[in-house]
Structure 1
Amino acid sequence: LRNNVFDGQSSYAGSLTGVGYRLNTNQEPPQLELVLDGWNNGQHANWMTTNGGATFAFGKRRDPVGVALNNPSANSLAGTASDVFWTTYVDNDPSGNNAYVGRLSNNWPASVKWDIKGVPSASGVAINGISSTGRAVGYRNKPHNNYSLTWNGGGTPTQLIFNGLDGTAVGEAMSVSADGNTIFGRSPKVGGATTNTLYGYKVVTPGSSQTIHPLPEFSDTAGSTSRTIPYGCTADGRYAVGMNYRGQEKAALWDTGNPDPLLWTVCDLTDLAAANGASDIFLRLGRAYSVGTNQAGDLVIAGVGTDGSVSRAFVMTLPRWIAAIGFPGHRTANYGTTVTFSVVTNGMDALSYQWYKNGQPLSGATSTSISLANVSCAGGEAGSYQVVVSNPPISGVVTSGVATLTVLDPFITAQPTSRTNLEGTVATFGVTADGTPTLLYQWQRGGFNLSDGDSGWGSVIAGANTPTLTISNVNPNDAMSGDYTVVVTTTTGGCSVTSRAVKLAVVGRPVLSSIVSDGIGNYTLNLTGPYGQTYKVLYSTDLSLPLGSWIPLFTNTFTGGLDVFTDPAPADPQRFYILASPYVLTSP
């Protein structure tokens, strides 16, 4: 892993989006040059080596490729053996973005001249990649559609919109193989988390006869609707690089060379570099934008990472046999389940394996996977797992990144919920949990343990050490003393989990405070009650009648203040009134 890519002012390059090789015949003997494409200080730039390696102190270039490329996208520069280069361009105008495909008609970089053909668009378009045959890929329309634009020698390039993983055109093509037949991109998929969650895909022969498959993810891929973005791919369409979101952006590499998509692999480049002492100055590699191959057949990956405070371009060289290994990701498992960590390989290399836990070798763990049955707190299966993979024929060794196993023992299957009670009623909180028998429960209020008995202000607590907490004769103090939680603990191992915090709201009872006569036969009723509580006033001329025989007078909802109702000149010689509430409560 290298970071020594500088601009003309000897400052670090901002980002690298393209990587490739060309034979420089102007030198004697001819030299293989590594060509890097990207930007720095807001300008497009190119860099070359003079020896095919990854040393950029000499032979670097900042020759502009031309007006047809500025702040390029990934995979946005392609070439052929005859030194013909293609590029893409997106232009902003009042009607939207116009997409262009450019073909170099003079030798590069001696005399830069581009022949550019475009397609106007009123709905927006972006071009992300270009093949050596002149097929550009990206998106068009809103919502974005998977899109390609192909140079055909005519005045207008050929356009194609194709379907993604969910069978619709929604998505975004990101990169394309040299022959234009393989495209990597992202789209929603059938059974995805949401309709706007985007998953990586590989499509071959896009269009009506295409085949498409999702790119593999890690078990802990989560935290963003952009789960996978395959920014770039190799010329043969086998490898893709990009970003896989694992709580944060992590640069990733995919190997899709196996005919069985279930054996495709994904590799976290940050974890791989860290586990093998090759991180250089980088704390995290965020995005890999492009990938090529050198004379030895190894992969050369370019992108952007961070040393903690500053973003810098990186170049990584990775042997193909390592690229073909899919290492496991982090796992979270419930008590009593079986957890398996596996290595996925292409089956072509004679590899051997040794698994480690917390840095110590596991006896007998020398296959492509390890299984941990009936995991628990007391069993101690939680920890950090790694595998060292050896390739004896070439004396190659690689260590996987750390895969952390978190065992939920105990774990809560049904959380308590907040509630609102009338003063003097019974409030109940409940929790459902599972784990290594036997489980212990401790309910808390405001972070302090509760115990059964009188609260000291009139309410009574029961079940403080059971799954169900009951508070009888609730008082406003029960609500004002803090949120309620429960800590569940295993008797074996002493592991615990705390529920989410919930609230108790206690509201006063509705009151018919007075009935006032104005002396001419009208009666005014004054009523108070909790905001949002519905109530009903009934009357009867006979106090001894059962409640079901009383006559409804009116129904209303308390608004937080004094409610006043006038019963105008009742003809009855006497009336009795009752205030009734169904206790339907809402918050103000």
Structure 2
Amino acid sequence: MAGRAAAILGMLVLAHVAAAQFTQQGGKLVGSGAVGPAHQGYSVALSAHGNTAIVTGYGDDAFAGAAWVFTRGEGVWSQEGSKLVGADATGVARFGKSVAVSADGNTAIVSGPYDDANTGAAWLFTRSNGVWSQQGSKLVGTGAVGNAEQGWSAAISADGATAIVGGAFDNSNTGAAWVYTLAGGVWSQQGGKLVGTGAAGGAAQGYSVAISADGNTAILGGVADNSFAGAVWVFTRSAGVWSQQGGKLVGSDAVGGAFQGYSVAVSADGNTAIVGGYGDNATTGAAWVFTRSAGVWSQQGSKLVGSDAAGDAAQGWSVAISANGNAAAVGGPSDNFNAGAAWLYTRSAGAWSQQGGKLAGTGAVGAANQGAVAISADGTTVIAGGSYDDAKAGAAWVFVTPGCAPPVIAVQPQGRTILSGETATLSVTAAGTPALTYQWYQGDAGDTSAPVGADASTFTTPPLIATTSFWVRVSNACGAADSAAATITLGRRARRHLRRAT
């Protein structure tokens, strides 16, 4: 009965979230320690659970640039530490042109395409016990031709171990991207630069980049391809080697020079991509969704255009997508005389539809150009940056789904007795605002020192040779719930008594 009730509650919560309008959470975020008009909010990033946000300001300190980290606790946002600045920048780097963060929020990549006279670079930062520090030296890819402006875009895998950096102006605006991997705390370039085939003219590949959760699928946007029609290229990695997957992707219903590939994002599994083109239809702007099946990409539905835009909004200037690919955010900084806005879309049975009205943060001073967007893995938290707020000081706004319900465990995992060397299957039933995530641990309830490699509602133990306890933490954007510990006890095999024949 409890399982049935939990299932019904879960369906009701899901229906509520799908239909609900996002609302602003708190006031706008403005980092302290800025020097001059920092343009905070030019680029933004969110961790998987939406509890860590990074807001960059490439204009800080006369365009040296900086990044600010904010964390959320019980629905309240606060700045974490001082602003981040790359330690080994050369000249005016415009650090903060692009930013991305790992799923757990503990690894960030921040780029500066103007570093070293437009050679460009990217910097990695890691967090330990709430303290951020630069990880190694700046990354500069080999094989660049001319001033590539590496760092025009950047992205990082969910585990923080694979990064991609776009250099849109490499080789006379042909463009390229460089991939880096982390091993033993050291970042190194993986293979040569990536350049897609089939480009028409100087495509500026790498103007935008995205990477899947496992780091094995990468997407490069080339905004200038075919006289600014724009396109994107997909690459996949196998055994450490990258290769192009199929031909370039171009949305079929563009109007005029759409600038497709100005922005791009990809789902966790790499099978759903969203591509922004803010120039479509005389800068009304739009976004296109593509899906992959058996290695073949195709457009899914018609282009996405927000229904309540005011003027030429430049929709598609920025795009973001949830981990499962079923929720997307599209930014349009020129909406309503450059006030800016964001539009949310959800996918059901392969069809996309707008979710509620456009989002525009309150408390803006002047035309903020709200339009840089990021979305949490579960699609329940969205951040929008407005780099022109308050005379270019800049700011960011966070939006969440209303009535977010933290997880509630309806059916606890149950202990049992097994024989030595056998496995046991444990399961938990929980309800709450989707998406729920699961992490199993070995030990007493609340002891997180021994996580196991299981992140689903059901967990099968390895073969056990001693009595062992396991428990699970269920989380979503607005809270977490810990189960009771389930103890797996080892029993003895029953002895068979044979009667001696007389």
Normalising by the residue count of structure 1, what TM-score does the alignment of the two structures yield?
A: 0.42
- Quick one: higher RCO (CA 8 Å, sep 6+), 1 or 2? 2
